[in-house]
Every structure is written in structure tokens, then in C-alpha cells.
Structure 1
Amino acid sequence: MNTSGHAAEDVRDAADGLRLAPFRGLRYVPERVGSLSAVMSPPYDVVVRPDGLLHLESADPHNIVRLILPQAITAGTRHRKAAVTLDRWLADGVLAPDREPALYVYEQEGDGILQRGIIGALELSTPDEGVVLPHEDVMPHVVEDRAALMRTTAANLEPLLLTYVGDTGNDADQVIDRAVLGEPLLSTTTEDGFHHRLWAVTDPAEQAAAAGELRRHQALIADGHHRWATYLRLREEHTAPGPWNYGLVLLIDTARYPLRVRAIHRLLNRLPVADALAALGDSFRVRRIERPLPTALEALESASAEGNAFLLAGDGAFHLVDRPDPDLLSRTIRADRPEAWRTLDATVLHSTLLDHVWHIPDAPEDIAYIHDTEAAVAQAERRGGTAVLMHPVREEVVRDLARQGVTMPRKSTSFGPKPATGLVLRSLALD
């Protein structure tokens, strides 16, 4: 098996691996919207800034953000609003189901990346089955919100991003290669410069070839832990076999199309930088780094190669925090986890700094998770808080911990590029 530099992947028995099924996708009708790019959105958890939400809402009255992040005063009203909006768009012909069940080949290209994968309805499995491997903890309030939205709309509005490691020239890759020779269902370029194309694989023989290959593999959740937890919760509510036993996913063979792994930064809304630095005392080494941001990030990368390191921002400067006191780490980090988990930056941040040194409550009003580095710094400066900038974890570390059944602290990694939301939806009423 060719792992191409990735951690070795377990090959599953045919009955035990990923079970991907075709479905009748819901897609935008191009004639009913201004443009396909105007109705698309990043995943819901990337659209964190109000200005980003307003930008998407104003791009087109039918932008998908009105379904994935509906705006209203109460949660129940938001979810009902999304369901009403979805029903209206279906009735008006803004969205329409494809005539035949399909697996969808999805291509993203931009920023030096070419990524292709297969979108389908994946049969759900529990962590004990070892088929789909989560690697991060989830926040209960987010799972509850996503479950209420999915329950009310009876739809999977955006796919999870899952990765597996395939052999060279495997059947699934060949299905992808043949599909992209044909005319795509859609082709569009989003404002981030990424070009998106989608093909439907409707031939039962091609569907069987791809599905047969995937049944040999397990997958790592690269993006979408909360939505996966939501799928499992809703399956428990629907005990009879049916559409709730499946969830919408995008599967990428990272032996062929390696993903980029980026960090997710923390914004401590109520902790000024001065207070954060004062609380550190002598337990970490602290060095002030003058702007610009790229210079500070280079210093963070160098320090991370030698051990745990963080970059604090929010007071108009950058502060490199590294070389934690070993005695402090031994007192604050649980000993019943693998060494790879104990030495993660995210583990040290949450167990040592947030819980022990800074005493930051684990609540949304105290901690925000932000993917964009510049946005994290800008928000910290605007709010008088502290941005904790992180260095990314290597994919092989993530995969190895997941195989051991060990979850990382929430929002430890950001794999990408993430699939655009709005290309294809899955209605549970149609399956």
C-alpha cells in the first residue's frame, strides 16, 4: 500500500469499512440565482464575523448562509426560519433535486492546490466501530444547535470533510479520473479565487466501483466534528432504518490529494494581554516581537520546532511564549494519555494556560475560535482581549492519535481546503 508519507492506513474487511451510497442531490437552479458563486458560502463555523455574514447575505437573496446560519432572536425561531426558507426555495424552483441518485465528484483548484474527492451519503458508525475516526472533542451547545437545525430542516446542508489513504490507482481514484473527463454539472469561481467543479456519477457500475474501494478503508474527520456528532445524535432519535442512518460527506484520498493543515486560533475576549503576560510569571519564557505579523509567525514556527510555543497579540505587539516549566506541565496535564497528546500545543494551552494559569471559563462568551490569523489579531485589538495564535499540528500526529481513540482538544486543527457550502445538499425527505 502506498502511503505517500502519510501514517499507515488500516485496510478494512469489505463489510467493515466506509459504506457510501448515492443520493438525489438538491442543487441550485442557475437560472433562478444571480450566480452560483453568489449563493455559496464557507462552512458555517468559518463564517464567524458579523461582517462576513452580512456580506454573504447581501451577495444574493438566496445565499446558502440563510439556511446554515439563519438569523432570528431565539434559537427555535432561527431553525424554523431556515426550514421555511428551504421549503420556499424548493417551491419556487430556486433549489431542485437531481433526477437520479448520484455520487458527486467535486474538484477545488486554487492557491497552488488541486483537490478532488467524492460526495455521497455515508452510513453512520460509532467510534467503537473504528470506521470514522474523530480526533477532536466537541462543544455540546454547538451540537445541540446543529441538531436542532438539521432536525427542523430535515436536510444535510453541507458535507463533512473526511480523509482516507488509498493505494495508487485504486478504483475510487479511477472513477474520479473518468468523471472529470466529462462535462461538469456546474463550474464556478468563488471570491477567494478557488475554482469549483462538480460532476454526477450515475452509472451503477461506477458507483459500485467507488463504493467497493471505500469499503476497504476507514476515514479521519478532517472537518465537521460537530456535524458528525449531530448525525449520530439524530440517528439515535430515529431507530428505524432510513435516511437518518446516513450523513452527507466529502471523501478525499490524501495519498493523492494531501490537505493543508492550519491552526485554529483562540480569542480570549475578557483577558487583556497585560494580564495574560503578568499571570505567566516565570512559568514560560516570554519575548516581545515587533511587527509585522509574518515575522512574528516565523518566530512562532521556529520556536514550535523545539517545543510548545504560542504567540499572544492584542495590545499592538506580539509576544512569543515558549519553554514552559516542566514541573508546571506535569502538575496540570493528565498522565493517562499518550505522550503525543500530552505534548500538543492545544493540550498545554487548555490544560495548563486556560485552566490553571489564566482561569478562563470554557464558555463561548470567554473563548472564540477563529481560523483567520489577521482576523484573530484584529478582533483582540478591537475588544481589548488576547489572541492566542497557534502553530498547526501535523496530519500524521492527528491520524495516529485518532486511531488510538484519543481525541484532541476541540478546534485543534483546520484541514483545508474545505468544501464550499451550497454546491449540493441532501434532503432526508428524498432518500
Structure 2
Amino acid sequence: MSTTGRAAGGLHLFPFRGLRYVPERVGSLAAVTSPPYDVVVRPDGLHHLESADPHNIVRLILPQASTPAARNEQAAATLTQWLAEGVLAPDPEPALYVYEQSRDGLLQRGLVGALALSAPEDGVVLPHEDVMPHIVEDRAALMRTTAANLEPLLLTYRSDGTTTGATAVIEHTITRDPLLATTTEDGFSHRLWSLTDPTELAEVRADLAHRQALIADGHHRWATYLRLRTEHASPSPWEYGLVLLVDTARHPLQVRAIHRLLHRLPVAEALQAAAGAFHVRTIDAPLPQALTALAEAAAEGNAFLLAGDGRFHLLSHPDRALLARTIRTDRPEAWRTLDATVLHSTLLDEVWRTPDTPEHIAYIHDTEAAVEQAERHNATAVLMHPVREEVVRDLARQGVTMPRKSTSFGPKPASGLVLRSLTVD
């Protein structure tokens, strides 16, 4: 991977020799892909993916063994074996990759490449959520042992919306035959092209050199990239990380909520504790109608939907004195009024006394899965209403991070279409 011509500031996206599945060695490309590691609902989703194909990428991003060290060693051994057997193979020359996702009228295109890492104080790549140290350590150990970026982060930037620069290159590239095309079981069609022409690469480089990006998905992996960079002397391949970069002026992302599953808190206990602090209304209706009620309440203020006992319970209109006592005042108003802020500072910390640890809280992207798991395990699902993208971006530009797992941007790139080895030239 050549870094010739790198300049200070801005986004610097470099070609790399992508590792890709050899179609003849797997059942199908769709069967070896996976959602990002933190979207897989375990254990059901994990088992489903493992059984889809013996070479599914989930065996690398979520290896299963008795200890963390054994899991990471297993992933590294599996990666080595797949390379030796020709299941995965590096492309012949470094490239950027144009990646397209589409479904039901939704279209997203972006560039996959190795992004030069920048320090947080540079303000080039903006995080908007806090991270959990134990997850960063888990991802760092996996990357360290496999010496690979196994799935790309999702970053966004905003152009002026014209068909110039990187956009023009992307639009020209998609007129050619793709490297691969597949449709995954969620209905999304995926296509990937290789971009190697020096003139087009230079055009992309010039366009991105003055851009600023927002981390849409992958805060823990970005923190992992930064940690691992410090462990290696410069120059090294650890100074770059695998990303998908999307221009949201051309392809606006969807913003969804991430729900909470409170393992050790039954719904009855959650409602009893919250009764004096929030207005509580039980909704005897199917999930879609309950979510509509949540959206209507969220338009007026903080609101949450509890599930787990076969019904839905809307929490709204929190006690103002309680909010004043539990929410820190040294943050902007937009942060203090976030649902995630009220959930963690007021409900979890004060009302429910629930620690933010894996034993007590799971973070689940899929709404139906959150409800189903709560009902199955006598737990409480806290369903959230999504935050608007402009709120996220404005806070990020102020250097203010939101409570962790506050948002879910999408569509997320499928894992398994292109990987980056840190040992392949």
C-alpha cells in the first residue's frame, strides 16, 4: 500500500489488496456474509450464520472457544487455513472498492479503502458516541492476533451534492462489470467494483483531502485502530484502518435506535420503580402500533417503550426535578435532552440502579429480537426512538459524545465482502 503524497489534514483513503472469498470455494457469497459483529444477535443469529456455510465470516469476527485468547487464536488459525486452501485470496493489485447496497428503492454507494488514522484532536474523523473499554480490548485482541481488519467501519462525509470528484469516479465505475454481486437474506443486493486507475484514484484523493468524516458505525473498531497504531513503530500498516466512506449528500443514511435488554430486571419491577418518576401507560396493541405511540410521545419529550410481559408500556413525561437532579449540567441542551442521556443518567443509574455491564445490559439493534428475548427470559426490553442525524452531527462537531449505543446508522456494510490483511503488501 503506497502512501506517497500523503498530506496533513483531511481524509486520506488508500488502495489496498483486498482479501475476498473465491466464489468457487464457497456455497454462495451471500451465505458467507454476516451483519457487523455487534449486530449479530447471539446465540440464535450466531448459530444461524455458522450453519449457513462452514466458511461464514462470523467464524472470524465472532469466533467461539472457551476463553478469549482461545477464540482469537482460533480466528487467526481459521484465517490462515482459509488463505492456504484458497477460500480467501488477495486481489492481484491494490485498489479502492466501490461498494453498492440497494433494497426497495434505497440505494447507497461508497468507497472502501484503508484510511490513514488521525488523532482525535485533529477533528478529521468525528466520533459521536462513547465506547466501552472491554469491547475495545476484545476487538483489539482479535485484530492483534489475526493481523487483519475483518470488517469495515461506516464513515460519512458531506459533499456539495454535485457529480464531481469522488462521486464522478463512483458513477463512472458502476458502468463496468462488478467484481461480485449477491443478494443477502435481508433482501439487500450488494455489488463491488475494483478501482485501480491512477487518474481516478488521484481524483478521489484530491476530493477527500479537505473532507471531514463522522463515524456512523464502528466506534469501538475506530478506538481499536487508534490503540493498535500506538503499539507499532511508524511507518506500519497499523497506521491505517478499513472503512466504508459514504457521501450522505448523495446517499442519506437511515438512523435507527439501538434498544436495551435488561437481563435482571423483570417488567413488573421496572414499572413499579418508574411509576413515580414517569407517566406510565400500558398499550395492549401489536408492536407497530406501540412504536407509533412511542414516536408520538417522543415528539413531545423523552419517551421509552418497555416490553417483556406480553404487552407494551409507554414511559413519558419524566419528573422535571428528577431530571435536574440526575443529569449533568456541563453539556449542551441537545445532549441533556437526548433519550439515551435520560435513560442512562435517570432511569438506569437512579431509578432502576442497573449497572451498564454485559451481565446486566445487552444492546440489540433489531426491535422484534429485543422484544422476543425479553419475553423469553423474563427481562425488560427498553425500546428507543431514533435520534435525528443532524443532532448527532452537530454534537460531534462540538466535540460532545453521546451515550454509547445511542444510534444505529444504516444500511451497514455486509461483513465478508472484502477484508484487509496487515501482512499482505
Is the TM value for this pair above 0.5? yes
Q: What is the SS of the residue equivalent to 2:401?
A: coil
**Counterpart of 1:234 in structure 2: which amino acid?**
L
2:362 pairs, out of 358, 365, 368, with 368
2: CA distance, partners of 1:243 / 1:99: 18
Matched residue count: 418
**Residue 230 (structure 1) aligns with:** 224
Residue 170 of structure 1 and its aligned partner are, at CA, apart by 2.7
Which ranges of 4 or more aligned residues in structure 1 deviate by more than 6 Å? none
Residue 48 of structure 1 and its aligned partner are, at CA, apart by 2.1
What is the TM-score of this pair, normalised by structure 1?
0.96
1:98 counterpart = 2:85: no
2: CA distance, partners of 1:96 / 1:64: 14
Q: What is the SS of the residue equivalent to 1:78?
A: helix
Write the deviation string for residues 246-293 of structure 1: whole angstroms up to 9, x where unpaired: 000000000110000000000001011111111113211111101200
**Residue 148 (structure 1) aligns with:** 141
**Residue 283 (structure 1) aligns with:** 277
**Residue 6 (structure 1) aligns with:** none
**Counterpart of 1:416 in structure 2: which amino acid?**
G
2: CA distance, partners of 1:316 / 1:111: 31
Residue 15 of structure 1 and its aligned partner are, at CA, apart by 3.5
**Residue 346 (structure 2) aligns with:** 352
Q: Tell which deviates more after alignment, 107-116 or 193-202.
A: 107-116
1:183 counterpart = 2:213: no
1: CA distance, partners of 2:244 / 2:171: 16
Write the deviation string for residues 359-401 of structure 1: whole angstroms up to 9, x where unpaired: 0011101000000111101111111111000000000000000
**Residue 422 (structure 2) aligns with:** 428
Q: Tell which deviates more after alignment, 204-213 or 337-346.
A: 204-213
2: CA distance, partners of 1:93 / 1:51: 29
2:259 pairs, out of 262, 265, 270, with 265
**Residue 328 (structure 2) aligns with:** 334
1: CA distance, partners of 2:87 / 2:420: 15
**Counterpart of 2:342 in structure 1: which amino acid?**
V
**Residue 119 (structure 1) aligns with:** 112
Superposed counterparts of 1:200-279, under 5 Å: 200-279=194-273
2: CA distance, partners of 1:430 / 1:415: 31
Q: Tell which deviates more after alignment, 236-245 or 83-92.
A: 236-245
2: CA distance, partners of 1:301 / 1:124: 38
**Residue 189 (structure 2) aligns with:** 195
**Residue 10 (structure 1) aligns with:** none
**Residue 110 (structure 1) aligns with:** 103
Percent identical across equivalent pairs?
A: 76
**Counterpart of 1:272 in structure 2: which amino acid?**
P
Write the deviation string for residues 16-72 of structure 1: whole angstroms up to 9, x where unpaired: 111110000000111111111111111000112211111111111111110000000
2: CA distance, partners of 1:381 / 1:120: 42
Write the deviation string for residues 148-199 of structure 1: whole angstroms up to 9, x where unpaired: 0000000000000000001222300001001000010000010111100000
**Counterpart of 1:331 in structure 2: which amino acid?**
R
**Residue 59 (structure 2) aligns with:** 66
**Counterpart of 2:277 in structure 1: which amino acid?**
S
2: CA distance, partners of 1:160 / 1:111: 24
